[in-house]
Amino acid sequence: MGRRRARGVALIAVIGPSAHDLVAPFAAYYSALGVSEFRIALHFPPRTRKADRDRLHDVCGHALGRPDVVSEGPWLVETNGLLRDRLRALATADWHVIADADEFQFHEGGIGQTIDRCDASGVPFATGLFVDRLPPSGAPPPGASTVEELDAGFPLGSFLTAELLDGDPRKITVARRDVDYGSDGNHFTSSHAGVKHPAPAPVHHFKWRAGARGYLERRVREFAGRPGHSDIGVRREALRALELLSARSAVASDGLRTFEASLRNLPAGWDAMSRRLWRYWHVERWRRRETA
């Protein structure tokens, strides 16, 4: 255990201009959980304004240090995976936390204890499920300068991604260096497909902030006309989200279950909720498609 702690834990993150309002709490949150090494890539899509570019460089430089990679060009399905793998190759730590800037993973007792549990079970990774964080009412606020402000501004949890947008809520959260991730996202590991996945923990998803509409509109435009199956899926999910935002002033729905959520502890009834959702997305959904 002492040797692993000497190696530390690396956080791998690809950050775009739309996430500038989350960088400060993101850095503080993962530092408190035990991250000792930050490996960061900044990606600027075409037509990014100079002011937005400079702002992201400034906030990242202050909170995270100089980025390892600066990338430019269209955002493709595989872009995140390519940048993620470049950063993992640069990391000196053997254990890697993979998180977008709007993803705040729950690790009870810190990331070190999650890794201890992985070591004890012989499984070289941990899993998570998106918990989409929502404001109580009204238009969604922006991000915040502190973890506490962000947590308080979005007190409700939901499974909006999975239940309303038909988006895969699964995540591989922390993994040993030798674990490969899927090429089109961080939802699964291709190199350990036969391993029994550990019970998932919440991945608090702060996507539904002020500015989400503009981000989704850009995603719809960028993926228009792309023929790939994954490309079509990304555009379809963004269109569903825009329809939801157009129908209501806040991201809410009469058919969407919500529950109290906090970065400090597990939601009430988490074990039952997470098992049901994980089984559906990991097993039942694909069986139904095969027999349809």
One DSSP character per residue, 53-113 reads HHHHHHHHHHHT-S-SEEEES---TTHHHHHHHHHHHH--SSEEEE--TTEEE--TT-HHH
Q: Residue 103: count other Cβ atoms within 10 Å of its Cβ.
A: 21
Query: pLDDT in tens for each of the 292 residues of the chain?
Result: 333 443 689 999 999 999 999 999 999 999 999 999 999 999 998 889 999 999 999 999 999 999 999 999 887 767 888 999 999 999 999 999 999 999 999 999 999 999 999 999 999 999 999 999 998 877 788 889 999 999 999 999 999 989 888 888 999 999 999 998 876 666 777 777 677 888 899 999 999 888 877 777 777 777 777 777 676 777 777 788 777 766 554 455 556 889 999 999 999 999 999 999 998 988 887 666 655 5
- ∠ CA 13-161-181, nearest 5°, is 40
Alpha-carbon torsion (84, 187, 132, 220), positive or negative: positive
| pLDDT on residue 232 | 75
| pLDDT on residue 228 | 72
Burial class (CB in 10 A: 0-12, 13-18, 19+), 1: exposed
Which ranges in the chain belong to alpha helices (H)? Answer: 2-7, 23-33, 50-63, 79-90, 111-121, 147-153, 160-163, 212-223, 229-247, 270-279, 285-291
Q: Token pair of 36, please?
A: 């000792």
With beta carbons less than 8 A apart as the criterion, state whether 209 and 141 touch. yes
| pLDDT on residue 3 | 38
Write down all domains in the chain, each with its CATH number in brackets: 2-291 (3.90.550)
DSSP class of residue 228?
S
With beta carbons less than 8 A apart as the criterion, state whether 12 and 133 touch. no
